[in-house]
Structures are given as structure tokens and as C-alpha cells.
Structure 1
Amino acid sequence: MSVIVENGTIRLVGACPVEDAEPLLAALQDDPLRKVDVSAMTAAHSAVIQLLALFAREIEGAFADPVLGPVLGPVLGPAIGGTSALAKRIQPR
């Protein structure tokens, strides 16, 4: 599995296939304040990227693959070093 939750952070490791979308969503819903570390992610299915764009409150780390940063930066921009638009509206319980 490419989704690892440890110390209040969700780490995405290696290639994140579509099968990782469900555990990623569960981890993001379980604690909306969790940060997501993408520094070890080498690839990602579009479903994983969509979840990051919609639900990730804050994304840490530089992408392991130098192509991912420029490609995903515009999509994930609000969450990189900040807060995604949707996460701003989600109030933690």
C-alpha cells in the first residue's frame, strides 16, 4: 500500500494506483487536519490526484519525480504550503 499514516501525517510512497484512492480518502476524512507528504510519491492515478486537490488541507515535501511538481503544481497549488479551497470550508469536529 502506498498510503501510510504516521505521526499525524499521510505519506504517499511510490506509485499510487487507483486502489490507493479509498484508503487515502478514509485517512483524509478521519482527520481533515492531516498533512499529506508527497516527497516519496513517484506516480499517482488521477483519482489520487483528485482527492488531494479536493480534500488535502496541506501538502508537504517536493515530489520525488521532477515532472510531477510542474504538472501537479497548478492543480494542487492551493494546498501546497497552504490550504485547499475545499479544506478551508471543512470544519474539524
Structure 2
Amino acid sequence: MTVRIEAEVIHLTGRCQAEDADTLLIALQEQPGRIVDMADVQRLHLAVAQVLLAARPAVRGVPASDFLARHLLDLLQ
């Protein structure tokens, strides 16, 4: 699974697929103050990116993908 939850942090790793959007959304709704760690993300399905853009969680780490690092992180911060 590419969404791993550890207490206050949600780790996104590898290639996040569309079905990961549900897991991410539920985790953010259950505890809105959670931080999303994107350091190990290679790719994000648009559904996952939409959840991040809608929820606007605190984000840490820089994705491996230059595109995500350059464009998505700017929108989230």
C-alpha cells in the first residue's frame, strides 16, 4: 500500500493509485491535523492530488518527481 499511517503522519510512497485517494481522505478526515510526508512519492494519481488540494494538510518532504516537487508542492504551501 502506498499510503501508510503512523500516528500523526501519513506517508505517501511510490506510485499512488486512484484507490489510494479514499484511504488518504479518510485518514485526513479522522484526524485533520495529520502531516502528509511526500518524501518517497514517485507519482500521484490525479485523485490523490485532488484530495491533497482540497484538504490542504501540512506537508513535509520533497517528492522524487521534479514535476510534483515544482508544481504540486507550490500549490499546497
Residue 13 (structure 1) shift: 0.4
In structure 1, distance between residues paired with 2:51 and 2:68: 16
**Structure of higher RCO (CA pairs closer than 8 Å, 6+ residues apart):** 2
Residue 75 (structure 1) shift: 2.5
Residue 56 (structure 1) shift: 3.5
Residue 3 (structure 1) shift: 0.5
In structure 2, distance between residues paired with 1:6 and 1:15: 19
Q: Secondary structure at the match of 2:75?
A: helix
In structure 2, distance between residues paired with 1:40 and 1:17: 14
Residue 64 (structure 1) shift: 1.5
TM-score when normalising by structure 2: 0.90
TM-score when normalising by structure 1: 0.76
Q: What does residue range 56-75 of structure 1 map to in structure 2 within 5 Å? A: 56-75=56-75
Residue 63 (structure 1) shift: 1.0
Residue 70 (structure 1) shift: 1.1
Task: Give 1:86's aligned residue.
Answer: none
What stretches of structure 1 of length at least 5 have no aligned partner? 78-93
What stretches of structure 2 of length at least 5 have no aligned partner? none
Residue 69 (structure 1) shift: 1.0
User: Which structure has the greater CA radius of gyration?
Assistant: 1
Q: Secondary structure at the match of 1:18?
A: coil
In structure 2, distance between residues paired with 1:36 and 1:56: 10
How many residues were matched structurally? Answer: 77
Q: Percent identity?
A: 38
Q: Secondary structure at the match of 2:65?
A: coil
